[in-house]
Amino acid sequence: MTTYTELKKIFSFLQEGDCFFYFFVYNVYRIKKHVKIKKSLSMPKIAYKLVYDELMRLIRGKYILENEMLPPENTLALRYNVSRPTIRKVLQMLSENDLIVSKAGIGWQVCSSESRQKKSRKDKPLTIGVDTAPNAWGYFYYDLIMNGIRKSAEEKGYRLVVTKHYNPEQFSGEEIDGLILSKTTDEIYRQCAVLPEKGIPVVFINRKPENRRFSYFTVDYVQEARKAVEHLLLLGHRNIAIIRQTTENSVKSDMDAANLRCCGWSQAFTANGIPPPEDLILSFNSIADLTETLKRARPSAVFIPLGASIIPFLLAAERAGLRIPDDISVICFDDMSNNQLVDIPISHIRMPLEIMGQRAVQYIANHAENPKLPPLHLTMEADLVINSSCKNINREKIISTL
């Protein structure tokens, strides 16, 4: 390349008046130098990029298998005819894209698909799908579950998505990491059956599905109902009725729950050597119907298996002239203390619904870390909450004899 000094010597014979030509030659030299620089910017891919593209092709094409170790840095440098610093840069780039991982003292290992999923989850919050309230009365029940879910999700920074759909086409592994449901129908069970096969865990709250691939947190309806009725027996009650609401719009899952709780009512009598009073299984389809039934049966206590029946019962008892607890004692399986329509404290079974919601979130988080985690089936203990809706008949008898 001719330098500026050499050009000056070549054109040294020029006189002062020829300075314009001298200036022209000098600028031609500058333009040619600039063109050379621009040309260098459009050179073929530099070495590290070529090596990176080749190794990425081998890994993604499964020519280098998952969990397989890459050759040592020296071997790679010789194979691709580049320096070791260039190889180190390539390996670091592959690591940043979750294709390989460094094993201390061993070398670089190709990441498995599971480990890549774990790394990708660190870049986005855990996403959990939840259903809506089962029905109008179920809101009070559902709200307790959601309190636990929200509390656990907010503490960990997880994302909640409310859904009314359970079609697997709407939920892929890229959209949600798990589903928590408290509402059940045969159709919901059917639609959700495919989700565990796609790696999406489904957790049911206070339900016990037959499909063992679903997880669940629940209480033993039979045993908890039995404890409630046995408490009434302990207080001296024998004419303990059970209230069953029968309507055309009855939800199958509610009816299934009521049947199990009715079994607990029956077992309480049997366990205490008393024949279950079958005539005190009081079914009704209207408040007027229940009012007449209460007047006729005159039970000293009632066990209400579903919270949906508490309002009709209170209205019917008032119309029948029955005072709580003076004339009739009451225990409801569901906790309706947050229902503003219930203006008196009703004894109930306090299920750990908030804890169930928290445990469900934790299970989905654990499953995200370990996709091979088996379904969790947990039956939890409930507490019997007794307040002023129950009267101790034995105490009344003792006082009357004094």
Give the tens place of pLDDT for each residue, 169-181: 655 444 788 999 9
273 and 390 together in one domain: yes
Best CA proximity match to 162, nearest among 173, 176, 174, 141: 176
* Of the residues 121, 140, 173, the one at which a domain ends: 121
pTM of the model: 0.69
- Is position 32 within any domain? yes
- Which residue from 347, 344, 343 is spatially nearest to 333, judged by alpha carbons? 347
Task: Say how many C-beta atoms besides its own lie within 10 A of residue 49's C-beta.
Answer: 14
Are 396 and 251 within one domain?
yes
Q: Are residues 15 and 69 in the same domain?
A: no
Rounded to the nearest integer, the mean pLDDT of the chain is: 83
Report the range out of 58-62, 158-162, 303-307 with the highest average pLDDT: 303-307
Q: Between 286 and 47, where is the model more confident?
A: 286
Q: Is the pLDDT of residue 147 over 60?
A: yes
Q: Where a domain ends, among 79, 104, 121?
A: 121
- Kindly state whether residue 380 falls inside one of the protein's structural domains: no
Give the CATH number of the domain where residue 363 resides: 3.40.50.2300
One domain, residues 273 and 394: yes
Share of the chain above pLDDT 70, in %: 79
Question: Containing domain of residue 134, as a range?
Answer: 127-218+356-375
The reply to whether 23 falls in a domain is yes
Residue 202 pairs in a beta bridge with: 179
Q: How many domains in the chain? A: 4
* Cα 76–chain centre separation: 45
The SS3 of residue 306 is: coil
> Could you tell me if 145 and 59 lie in one domain?
no
The mean pLDDT of 215-219, rounded to a whole number, is 97
Which of the residue ranges 104-108, 168-172, 212-216 has the most confident prediction, judged by mean pLDDT?
212-216
CA 289 – CA 309 distance, rounded (Å): 13
Mean pLDDT of 313-338: 94
Report, as an integer, the average pLDDT of 158-166. Answer: 81
pLDDT digit string, tens, across residues 115-140:
665 555 555 789 999 987 666 556 67
In a domain, residue 182? The reply is: yes
* Higher-scoring residue by pLDDT: 132, 150: 150
Verify that 148 and 209 share a domain, yes or no.
Answer: yes
The pLDDT assigned to 340 comes to: 76
In the predicted structure, residue 27 carries a pLDDT above the cut 80: no
Q: What is the arrangement of strands in the sheet containing 215-219, beginning at the earlier edge strand? A: 159-162, 127-130, 178-181, 202-205, 215-219, 377-380
Q: Which of 65, 95, 121 is the last residue of a domain?
A: 121
**Amino acid letter, 224:** E
- Shared domain for 255 and 304, answered yes or no, is yes
pLDDT band at 337 (very low <50, low <70, confident <90, very high): confident
Residues 145 and 108 in one domain: no
Does residue 212 share a domain with residue 63? no
Specify if 109 maps to a domain: yes
367 within a domain of the structure (yes/no) = yes
- pLDDT score of 60 more than 60: yes
283 lies in the same domain as 195: no
Residue 181 sits in the same domain as residue 199: yes
Query: Higher pLDDT residue, 299 or 191?
Result: 299
Residues 294 and 393 placed together within one structural domain of the fold? yes
CATH number of 73's domain: 1.10.10.10
In a domain, 190, yes or no: yes
Q: φ and ψ at 295, to 5 degrees?
A: -65, -40
- Please report the pLDDT score of residue 122 as a whole number: 54
| pLDDT recorded at residue 35 | 43
pLDDT at 42: 37
Spatial CA neighbour of 274 closest among 239, 299, 316, 298? 239
